[in-house]
Copies of this chain bind each other. A is one copy, B any other.
Amino acid sequence: MKPDDLGVHPRTSSVHAVMRDDPGPTAEECLGRTTHFREDMRHGGGSCHAVSDMLSRIGDKWTLVVVSYLGEGPMRFNEMRREIGNISQKMLTVTLRNLERDGFVTRTVTPTRPPQVEYALTEMGHCLLVPVTGLARWTLDNIARIEAARADYDDRDGAAAGK
């Protein structure tokens, strides 16, 4: 039963495994080493790929977009759908569900004639925007350099192996 069932939480189950027992190499496995990271990572006791996991979460196609829209204030489903424009209702649903599950947004159903559902960022949701914005700022500040590096790289192998 439930063949597809909208892929909500089956994938993020890995974090559970790491956080609970996980007898083997906790800190030494994934992001294990690295001075920079280590220094900042001996907080949670060595949960390493939890960070990669988080980045994959917010790094997916829609999460950040949705969060940023909600950052301005609560919105309803189709309102977001229209504003964002190119998102499918499936992905909006899935994204919102995952965000709700992680405690980043709240879902409030107002049972009117045509039912209204309002989504809003939680405190933690807003909180998340802070470091994310930091990375966003960095990206925008350095996008030119990255662009240049890419063009340079593409030139070289384009000229060499081009044909």
Contact = CB atoms under 8 A, between A and B. Distances in A.
Interface of A: 9, 12, 15-16, 19, 29-31, 33-37, 40-41, 43-44, 47, 50-52, 54-61, 64-65, 68-69, 71-72, 83, 85-86, 100-103, 124, 126-150, 152-154
A149 B101 contact: yes
Contacts of A60: 56, 59
Tell me what chain A mostly uses at the interface: helix, strand, loop, or mixed: helix
Contacts of A29: 85-86
A144 B20 CA distance: 11
Contacts of A12: 150
Given A68-B37, A103-B148, A147-B19, A135 B133 contact: no
A154 B133 CA distance: 29
A131 B129 contact: no
Contacts of A130: 138
Nearest to A19: B147
B52 A64 contact: yes
